[in-house]
A and B are shown apart, each in its own frame.
Chain A
């Protein structure tokens, strides 16, 4: 039985200028995560830019170009301890141009803080980020209607935006939404309830972070082999299968299958980085020793023989297209999946998500930052599951071998026969 993982990954997303960096800076500041000299450095940087008071956005906007332009270009990560748990906070960029960095930040996130400017309301970029969170399986979205002070703490405006977000999420079968009226700049409803919004009796941002559910770890045991450790120990040659358990747990004596070959054996020994154990679970890095000397190498997946994943070459999947060069079919690319890299062909392009209406429409091209649905054929069998069943085996990255660029994040929706 998997145990709770004491680490959560939360990402702040939304349109440019909606206040993500300010929110993260303020949250760290108000919860005592900033040290004296870090605060001084931000104060100094604020003065240099002629700001009145302290501009906490300058804390995570760590690149020169970001501070010059007052925007976030790439994701910044900060560790944050809340309620006895470690939260890795990612500050994602809002510009459409940097969507690839937002995808980097949101893939693997357990929850997202989605900021919306109370004055401007939801934009295509708000919906894009919401849709990406939905595709990536982010369970919870803390929807912050920010700069509520600029609309005079108007409850009706808050409800209007919150309803829009809930409706958009429902259209794409998206994440759970908790809406909060917020002023990140003034700390309204961030860590403390504000008298400015007496009509709001829901949680603060910090309270929601405290109460987040632990990360979902799927229960079926899967471990991709990263490396085979060979060691000559006197009379016999040791072969250890090194990898990280993606999901589930394994116990000495369990019957396992190595895929795609299908060879079976039993677990003889479990070594958790020098500590011999009876069993181990995700997300630990381990070395497994088998009873039989079966042929296993990097790229193979070890699973319980009773509940194996699928082996296939054809999938239907949703993609976030990240490259400036648009996707047209057929596209010959490389897929990195689990610990395998194989040539693939994107054979069909079924549809694209129209962000204004949140409807799927037929298309023959995906431009940079578009979300769509494709069919992919792999040159060699892959050990797969749908993304909904298993994040690790259901996710791929596409690389263009001509440029070495990472061009798409892919989530398997169906594993097809053949």
Chain B
């Protein structure tokens, strides 16, 4: 047993996140935790497991699988669910395409990133989920900085950023009408460095692509994209081998890697501290289309 010890910023952030997770579990009928196998959702799932231990999670995990995910991440996802012995639902974008709900994009910038929204909203309706935990952080992107902990979505899955519910103190209005749901963001106040520091402190395992490895890549718009058959390349986009790692994990078609030799969590923390590029700037092609790209996707029901 330990005596009262001095608290760190991570202790306070951890307590805040667990408070939000427990509130949502208690107030909502059918929550689900969106689990992509990315570092933020791994931290979120770890916190949720801690929040209810030694009992199991009172809600399932769900992954929206574009079919274009990195195989290392899919392998990690399945192993994680087995190890923690929790239920994992996989909602497939391919199924939405096969059912004619969405159309696969073609061409140079084809990506299934946008298509995920339909698959997600269909899965929410099918399972009658009324709250989706997400690992989004306010420091990621400026429209994210505007999110509440409990972010209301109407029956169409839309976010109305001009009319968000007041959220004074830590009191959350968890009232919903039929068909509406919440996106709940327990990691709102964490930064990228906080996530990595917590991964180090808790000794969490991550998919291997977060650490330096050799990979065939090509350069587009200042980003090193994986040379895979899912992405069409122009003749001048030459493939070469580079030692890289990924700062975020998303759909292969829009997630760039960075040249890096950081092979351990400590090295990643050091590198992140000294980086002059933000996480999204380094790795997300989808935000470069317009300055309100994220807000527009979110309004329509994106993560």
Contacts and interface: CB of A to CB of B under 8 A. Distances in A.
A50 to B, nearest CB: 15
A277 interface: yes
A298 to B, nearest CB: 6
A86 B191 CA distance: 11
B120 interface: no
Contacts of A226: 19, 22-23, 26
Given A62-B146, A285-B18, A406-B165, A336 B277 contact: no
B145 A78 contact: yes
B99 interface: no
Interface string B67-82: 0000000000000000
B26 A227 contact: yes
A279 B3 contact: yes
A78 B139 contact: yes
A86 B291 CA distance: 28
Contacts of A278: 1-4
B139 A63 contact: no
A73 B166 contact: no
B275 A35 contact: yes
A244 interface: yes
A13 interface: no
- In this complex, the member of B4, B189, B295 whose beta carbon has the largest number of chain A beta carbons within 10 angstroms is B4
Interface in A372-418: 391-392, 395-397, 399, 401, 404-406, 409
Contacts of B23: 226, 339
A404 B177 contact: yes
B162 A108 contact: no
A309 interface: no
Contacts of B15: 244, 283-285
Interface string B268-298: 0000000111100110000000011001100
A104 B189 contact: no
A29 interface: no
A145 interface: no
A92 to B, nearest CB: 12
A357 B191 CA distance: 43
B125 interface: no
B251 interface: no
A14 interface: no
A51 interface: no
A397 B189 contact: no
Contact of A3 (B4, B148, B291): B4
A339 B172 CA distance: 10
A238 interface: yes
Interface string B124-157: 0000000000000011011111101000000000
B145 A60 contact: yes
Nearest to A299: B26
A149 B191 CA distance: 35
A64 B290 CA distance: 11
B143 A37 contact: no
A284 B50 contact: no
Interface string B198-240: 0000000000000000000000000000000000000000000
A101 B12 CA distance: 24
Interface of B: 1-9, 11-16, 18-19, 22-23, 25-26, 50-55, 138-139, 141-146, 148, 161-162, 164-173, 175-177, 188-189, 191, 275-278, 281-282, 291-292, 295-296
Interface of A: 1, 3-7, 35-38, 41, 44-45, 48, 59-65, 67, 73-79, 85-86, 88, 100-101, 103-104, 107-108, 226-227, 229-231, 233, 238, 242-244, 249, 252, 273-281, 283-285, 298, 322, 336-337, 339, 391-392, 395-397, 399, 401, 404-406, 409
Closest 10 CB pairs of A and B: A62-B142, A37-B281, A107-B168, A285-B18, A36-B276, A404-B175, A285-B15, A226-B22, A64-B292, A76-B145
27 contacts: A1-B4, A4-B7, A5-B12, A7-B9, A35-B278, A35-B281, A37-B277, A45-B291, A65-B162, A67-B291, A78-B139, A79-B139, A104-B166, A231-B55, A242-B52, A244-B15, A273-B53, A274-B50, A279-B3, A283-B16, A284-B7, A285-B15, A285-B18, A298-B26, A322-B166, A405-B165, A409-B168
